[in-house]
Amino acid sequence: MEGSLFSQGVLLALVEKGMSREDAYELVQTHAHQAWNQIEGNFRQQIEADPQVQQHLSVAEISHCFDPRRHLQHLDRIYQRLDI
């Protein structure tokens, strides 16, 4: 289950690098389901070890997909919109 939160970022990165959306979706979903259903499943480790992913994404690009700062970069703007 660990890391599955970042599956959308991985999917989008693979599509941006030329993988079809359907193939990227199937690949990412397979790893996400495996990580979710294993007691010690780790989505990131599965993605990093996948040869298809390695054909499209570098180690740095994979790492970028799992950077939590990507989800927080607009947090200040979101709070400003709440006008609380």
pLDDT for 27-45, tens place per residue? Answer: 999 999 998 888 777 999 9
Which tokens hold the place of 55?
Answer: 């054909």
Nearest Cα neighbor of 28 from 11, 48, 12, 49 is: 11
Tens-place pLDDT, residues 33-80: 998 888 777 999 999 999 999 999 999 999 999 998 877 777 788 888
Class of domain 4-82: mainly alpha
- DSSP bridge pairs for 42: 2
Question: What residue ranges do the domains of the chain occupy?
Answer: 4-82
Cα separation of 49 and 34, whole Å?
14
Query: What's residue 68's pLDDT?
Result: 86
Q: What is the pLDDT of residues 5-18, one digit of tens each?
A: 899 999 999 999 99
